[in-house]
Structure 1
Amino acid sequence: MSINVVTLVGRVGGEPDMKYFESGSVKCRLTLAVRRRSRNAEEPDWFNLELWGKTAEVAGNYVKKGTLIGIKGSLKFDTWKDRNTGADRSSPIILVDQLDLLGSKRDAEAAMMDGSPDHF
């Protein structure tokens, strides 16, 4: 049996990085700052997120720097060869399956007036 589930709640660190492909696919990359539950957690942990399809479009339309979101997804690793040294490199990425727009009631009401749902 294998389990690969990641659940995070935090604030978006920058504007969504959207990429549109000729095939019609849409990809969005975000960074997410998450504070650890400890007395000494001054600096947040940063996670790289990757969203596809409808979830990516929603993020592009409704998520901004500083937005509080919750995500559920799985951990994957992007791998490549370093151009200068030829060494193998990798970077952890959270592949997001579910995006929840959190935040204040006023933010949610404004989003509802725009016709956006809060769970994707």
Structure 2
Amino acid sequence: MSINKVIITGNLTRDASLNALPSGTPVCEFGVAVNERRRNRQTDEWEDVPVFVDCNMFGTRAEKVAQYLVKGLKVTVEGKLRYSSWEKDGQKRSKLDVVADDIEFLTARNQDQQQPQQQYQQDKYAPQQAKYAPPQNVIKAPRNVQSMVDQSLNEAKMANAVNPSLAQPAPANDAFWPEDIPF
């Protein structure tokens, strides 16, 4: 059994370019910079070393996503590795890149512009597998919601025990008749 799965998170190194294969299939090409932490042997301190990863996405999703992939945007790319080899000027060359299956935007392109999530949701033909980060002003629910619900129920029971009239429903008003409704 073989597994070919890659997940990387980093910043886009350039704006995406949208091209087409000879068959007519759209292909979106972009690069992602991922930091690798390693210890510098000379100074004995940790430092970030960038690793540059070339990525491709194919099909109609590539057309839709390409307009949002701009330099500096932080993304998570999920996909698979692909090995390519060719010969140029008599020398053999090879390359390992990522074929993206899914892209998640982690930051907006610019604070003055709409976030990609809002723009993307306006497009009714947007691919269903693309994911975007929620807006920054979302209020997060507490981790222990069940205990808060239980506490509220206990407080209501205690209030009913102190004042039993709160626990019983109000008597029906016999003065109200369906004929009193004006329609």
TM-score range, shorter chain: 0.7 to 0.9
Q: Give 2:167's aligned residue.
A: none
Q: Give 1:35's aligned residue.
A: 35
Letter in 2 for 1:65: K
Cα distance, 1:114–1:77 mapped onto 2, change above 3 Å = same
Query: How many pairs align?
Result: 116
- Larger Cα Rg: Structure 1 or Structure 2? 2
Matched, 1:88 2:92: yes
For residues 6 and 21 of structure 2, the distance between their equivalents in structure 1, rounded to whole angstroms, comes to 27
Out of 52-61 and 110-119, give the one that drifted further. Answer: 110-119
Q: How much does 1:21 deviate?
A: 4.7
Cα distance, 1:49–1:115 mapped onto 2, change above 3 Å = closer
Letter in 1 for 2:93: R
Cα distance, 1:59–1:88 mapped onto 2, change above 3 Å = same
Contact 1:12/1:32, CA 8 A, preserved across alignment:
yes
Contact 2:82/2:99, CA 8 A, preserved across alignment:
yes
Contact 1:16/1:59, CA 8 A, preserved across alignment:
no
| Correspondences of 1:94-105 after superposition (within 5 Å) | 94-103=98-107
TM-score, normalisation: structure 1: 0.81
Please provide the CA RMSD for this pair: 2.5
Structure number having the greater strand percentage: 1
Q: How much does 1:23 deviate?
A: 4.6
TM-score, normalisation: structure 2: 0.55
Deviations 1:18-39 (A, max 9, x none): 1035754210110100112442
Q: Give 1:75's aligned residue.
A: 81
Structure number having the greater helix percentage: 2
Give unmatched runs, 5+ long, in structure 1.
none
Out of 74-83 and 10-19, give the one that drifted further. Answer: 74-83
Q: Give 1:114's aligned residue.
A: 119
Q: Give 2:166's aligned residue.
A: none
| Correspondences of 1:18-29 after superposition (within 5 Å) | 18-21=18-21, 23-29=23-29
Matched, 1:3 2:9: no
Q: Give 1:16's aligned residue.
A: 16
For residues 80 and 100 of structure 1, the distance between their equivalents in structure 2, rounded to whole angstroms, comes to 31
Sequence identity, in percent? 23
Letter in 2 for 1:40: E
Cα distance, 1:71–1:29 mapped onto 2, change above 3 Å = same
Give unmatched runs, 5+ long, in structure 2.
39-45, 133-183
Contact 2:105/2:116, CA 8 A, preserved across alignment:
no
For residues 21 and 82 of structure 2, the distance between their equivalents in structure 1, rounded to whole angstroms, comes to 21
